[in-house]
Every structure is written in C-alpha cells, then in structure tokens.
Structure 1
C-alpha cells in the first residue's frame, strides 16, 4: 500500500469514527421545524423536494402557498393527483401585483385557517408554509399566531417554512435553518424565468 493510500485510509477511518459517534448521539425521534430562507433561488423547490420524499413513503402532506399560488408550479402539477397531498392556495397571487392590503390580508387569513387545521391534524406528517415569511413581513399575520400554531402541532409532524427574511422567532424555534445565497441569478442578467426550471 502506498503512503498516499495509507494516509487516505487513515483519514477516512477517522471521519467514519466521527460520523458514527454523531449518528449514535442522535437518538431523539420527533417532527422537526425547517426554515429555508435567504435571497437565493431554490427555497420553494427544496420544500417541494421534501414533499416528494414524504409522499414517496406514503405520508400525508399539506402545502399552503401564500404567494405563488396562481403561478404555474410544475411540482404541484406533477404531484396534485396524489391522494396524500392537500394544497391550499392564497388566490390573490403576488401581493406586489394586487397592491391592496385589505384584500391581501383577508385572503391570507382565509388560507391561514387551512394552515391551522393542517397544523393541528396528527394524520398530516408534513406541512409546508410556502412564502409565509412575506405574510409576516407585510403584517397580514402576526408572529405570535404562527409561532403558537407551529409550537402546538402534533409531536410527529414536521413543518417547513420558506421565504426571504425569515422572522427571528421562526429561526430560533427551527431545528434546521438553510439560507440560500444569491451568488448569481440568471434573472439579474435579463433571462426570463424558464418553465420546468424556475417554475
């Protein structure tokens, strides 16, 4: 065995020992809160990936779309026939298009009632609150209401929160926070959003 191969094997054995220790220490079983935030692309896409994973195991999933509901969504189109998936949409679309605080607030609170129902249902394994961060930022929902609903959910239920500028309370209560960084984005170079890639 060459010196390089021996060093590689020793490094991998050390890494394996470290990973094995961490796996052994992770013994708690419960639902999780995940936050996908940041200015980069991919937050909703990551959430839909997890939805697909949960559905693949036959779990029930609820998705609330607070912003992009009227926009085409390839993931929703592909998965909506699954009997284990329920999607509720805030029917106003992009709030910067409507520019009507009263109607946007009413639409948000109406779809939030569906979210509260899902968050209280022990049969639903995963709930996605897609783009809810905007609802908090614009004051359509208050953080205490959202925090309480997430905190009081069934113990086995996981929740994914997506959107830019996640409220610090959501970050504090989350088990996992992933921040998408906008290193480079095609839109900023004048490229249109592409069907099947961006939506």
Structure 2
C-alpha cells in the first residue's frame, strides 16, 4: 500500500501488529497527543489481538519510518456499536500522527485522503464519520478543509469531553475539487 507524498518521500501503509504495541503506547503519551486528545485511552493490546473483517488498523510510514496510525471501520458492522444505529454504507476513520516531527508536513493530509479513497472505492460506502474532541480546533479545521460537515456534539462511551461528529458524504467526496495539500 503506497502513496507518494508531495512533501517528503514515500508514504506507505502496513497492517498494525502486536509488535507495534510499544510504539503505539509511546505515541499515546506524547505531549501533542495528550493536548489533542486529553481523555483518550485505547486498548491497543486487545485491538491488535482481534482482527475483525469490519476494521483495518494501519501504521503509516514515511520513508520506512513509522509516523502515524490509521483506523478505518465499517461503522454499521462494528461490534460495539460505538457510533450507534448508523445506516449500512457508513464508515469511520481515526487518524493521528504519533511522531511530532512529522506534524505540519502534509502527511496527515495524505493519510486522510488515502483513507477516504479506500472508503469511497467501495461503492456501498455512502458516508464517512469522524469524531475529534470538541476542544481540538486544529483537527476540526483540518477535517473541514477536507469537506467534512458538522453533524452534532456527542459524548461517546465514558469520555468526559464531548466530541464534534463530522460527516463526509459520497456526493461531497465525488464533487470535491482537485486540491493540493493546504499550507
């Protein structure tokens, strides 16, 4: 799975594996991650041991160096029903750059566009959801530039902080202009 980055060599994606557990746990403790997602907790050990058909968990690498994490799920089929009762054809994406030195260099933009291409390549995918913390203005601005539209504020599971749910429809994705990485 390869994608050429306009800002720094080759961006590749590989399946996240149990050997990535220390890396993911280190990223979760990084100051920029705590600032962006203050109440964030992920059970990587459990998730990496479980590989359901409705989920992809990937490590993004820039020139073979791990820089970030990407998860794509079929939100309708996801077994915990985190997203609630969503229609078939609904996907959701989680994305973050774990290595702070790679933030602001276009890698997040390339990762998200690649993930959206994967989702909408499936003709049954009608919408993609994301749920940044409401306080994460940088992420919200990023998603708006990609064409996501606000749906609602929501508190998921036992999180203390509300999330801003945004949605990108298939029609908006197909109608998007051919844009480059924003400055």
TM > 0.5: no
Computing the radius of gyration from Cα coordinates, the structure with the larger value is 1
Which structure has more relative contact order (CA 8 Å, sep 6+)? It is: 1
TM-score, length basis structure 1 = 0.30
- Which structure features the higher share of strand residues? 2
Report which of the two has the higher share of helix: 1
